[in-house]
A and B are shown apart, each in its own frame.
Chain A
Amino acid sequence: MHLLLVGISHRTAPVDLRERVDFQVRGVEAALGALSGRGTTNEAVVLSTCNRVEVYVACGEVEPTRNDVVAFLGEFHAIEPAALKPHVYDLTDLDVARHLFRVAAGLDSMVVGEPQILGQVKEAHTLATMARTAGPVLNRLFHSSFAAGKRVRTETALGSGAVSVSFAAVSLARKIFGDLRGRHVLVVGAGEMGKLTALHMKSQGVQSVTIVSRTMAHAARTAEAIGGASAAPWDEVGTAVGSSDIVITATGAGKPVFTKAQIEAVMRRRRSRPLFIIDIAMPRDVEAAAGEIEQVFLYNIDDLQATVQENLVRRANEVARAEAIVTEEVDRFGAWLRSRDAIPTVVALRQRFESVRRSELERLDFKLSALPPEARSRVEEITRLIVEKLLLTPTEQLKTLSDAEVLTAYTEALTKLFNLGQQAPSATETLDRRVEPFVRPSKRS
């Protein structure tokens, strides 16, 4: 059994091609059905986001499956193979695991550390589970990826810090005021930037948004566009600042709208309740010296951009730690995958023991036939339990072996000692039939 990944992402394909292969248009379920109907894959999961489309499969042979999955991508979306092939990448076995773990951890995202991708990976797995195309190997692979993603999130700062200006403003406001519900926001100026930042604040549940502009009609229009906001005339701007917690200034004025002295006067009336001023105007609306006033937190557009930059650098510094976690999880998954190589031997061993038990019972049948039926079934049960108990420890030991060489030595020894060569089915054959070795009924009875 091999793992195979075929996909395209923001690293290999332009956005127009990514849009065309987006499975969400026709539904991932339909794609899973169509793919598994082709018969080349044993298990399949499709991860489709706006930045990547990846098909994860478990299969017997890599080469034909790879070609078939690429062909499927083209056929399903009606794209010429020649247009698709240069952008498609593929990985096999543990490289697939490493890639998926990196994706789940946000290491492969456009904005490193972004949090949505883990949810999208989980959703892709859920869809495949519902469509019954995910089996034991991909289930384990995806659950391991959730663990890797979660560990990276909790053990590193890869996802910390805002990486866009408007989110940086909201995150700062939350660090000053805690919960933003019940807070009052004032937007000075009716431009687009002010409106966008106000919308962002509004999505955080602030109690009120007030727009003040030199032209009352502009203010009213912007307030309407934001929805649930109110407009106030320009001559009330001082009072409005006094009753607000967060002030966003974004006028097109050529000189500062608020001087330090004005803000000081406002702060006296506010009895030093904190005031967060976000000055996104260029040139600036608030005198820089106003930031020196106690309990006034003044950030201009450059400050916000600088914090975004700092966060990006901090995230980049966490990459090495995140990669180390991914490697640990890949090693763990690899050990599990290798332990599956023991399954054919375990199956053969159990079959051998079962056949000995059966043949001995048959040989002694003439002696047992004198017994009442109840005693006979007791004998049957006791012999079965003895075999189970004898095999329990060796089975568990084989399952925990992760070193490929040791495993080979053990399976060879077992094959020789119990003469399993004749009956041990090949690994591929067994796994392809998704044999559960511990419940499989014997065919040799």
Chain B
Amino acid sequence: MNAVPLALYSAAFLAYVWHFARRPATIGRAATTLLVAGALSHTFVIGMQTMDVGHVPLMTRASAISTFVWMLVLAYLYTEMTTDERAMGAFILPLAVALQIIPALNVGGTGGEERASVLRGPLFGLHVSSLLLSYASFALAAVIGITYMLLFKEIKAKHLGFFYTRLPSLQVLDTMNQRATVFGWVCLTVGLIVGAIWASQASAYASASPQVQQMSLQDPKIFVAVVCWAVYSFEVFAVRRLGWGGRRSAYLSAVGFAIVLLNFVPIGYFLTRSHNF
């Protein structure tokens, strides 16, 4: 079922790239329409799965990635609607399309959506959904940060070319980057705290579970998540207290998201011992 949103996202991606390069107004509208259609079909897919299993599909990695992509697309659409700025679509959608391939092909997602007995209580749902939301925000911040650096480079080098004519101003990109980062940081903080509380409760009622036994900073997934939190905390602090706006925070956003992505896909699939329910 995840193939339908993938197809629509891919078509929207092509339209956004075409619009970014050549800027015909009709293609821009078509791009947004395709993306909205993709988001609606994705909402339908997630809604059906939720009705099927009784909770938002987050249990397998593939379904968590699908939910993440859905949040990312909604976050992007919100940005596009509020700023009337389509340029970022060409940068966000490659990520959405690449990640959506995983649930569409159901890579490694052999397990069902049934909730493992250890994953009880509302805290678990809050933990996963706030982290996914924070990752979606960080993805947006990273892409905005990259476009900031591209535009910054052109203005500094005094070659006002491709990006200069197509991207919004540095100030707008900087503000968007910081908002997305702060929102993501709040969600990440909530997600980590809730996760820690859940783990301590779980160790009481499911001490025999091998995953719960691995819940410590030595687990790569937890360790890298904490590193992420440190990077983003520094960014939020540096922007507010050290005046690290502009290129430095854009750079930090990109680095932070690279770590998020590392944690989300390779570590999540192959290395973690605590988060493979």
Contacts and interface: CB of A to CB of B under 8 A. Distances in A.
A156 B221 CA distance: 49
Contacts of B246: 272, 274, 294-295
Contact of B171 (A154, A177, A297): A177
Interface in B129-148: none
B170 interface: yes
Nearest to A174: B169
B277 interface: no
Contacts of B155: 172, 175-176, 297
A299 B158 contact: yes
Contacts of A179: 171
B158 A178 contact: no
A273 interface: yes
Contacts, number: 64
A274 B160 contact: no
A310 interface: yes
B243 A271 contact: yes
Contacts of B170: 175-178, 274
B109 interface: no
B32 to A, nearest CB: 16
Contact of A303 (B22, B158, B172): B158
A306 interface: yes
A178 B172 CA distance: 6
Nearest to B163: A175
Range, interface on chain B: 20 to 34
A176 B242 contact: no
B82 interface: no
A34 B25 CA distance: 42
A175 B164 contact: yes
A178 B23 CA distance: 21
Interface in A132-162: 154-155, 157, 160-161
B154 to A, nearest CB: 9
Given A299-B158, A310-B160, A175 B169 contact: yes
B34 to A, nearest CB: 19
A157 B165 contact: yes
Interface string B239-271: 000111111100000000000000000000000
Interface in B161-193: 161, 164-165, 168-172
A161 B242 CA distance: 35
Nearest to A183: B171
Interface of A: 154-155, 157, 160-161, 172, 174-179, 270-274, 291, 294-295, 297, 299, 303, 306-307, 310-311
30 contacts: A155-B24, A155-B25, A172-B155, A172-B160, A174-B169, A175-B151, A175-B155, A175-B160, A175-B164, A175-B170, A176-B171, A177-B170, A178-B171, A179-B171, A272-B243, A272-B244, A273-B245, A274-B246, A291-B156, A294-B247, A295-B245, A295-B247, A297-B155, A306-B158, A307-B158, A307-B160, A310-B159, A310-B160, A310-B161, A311-B160
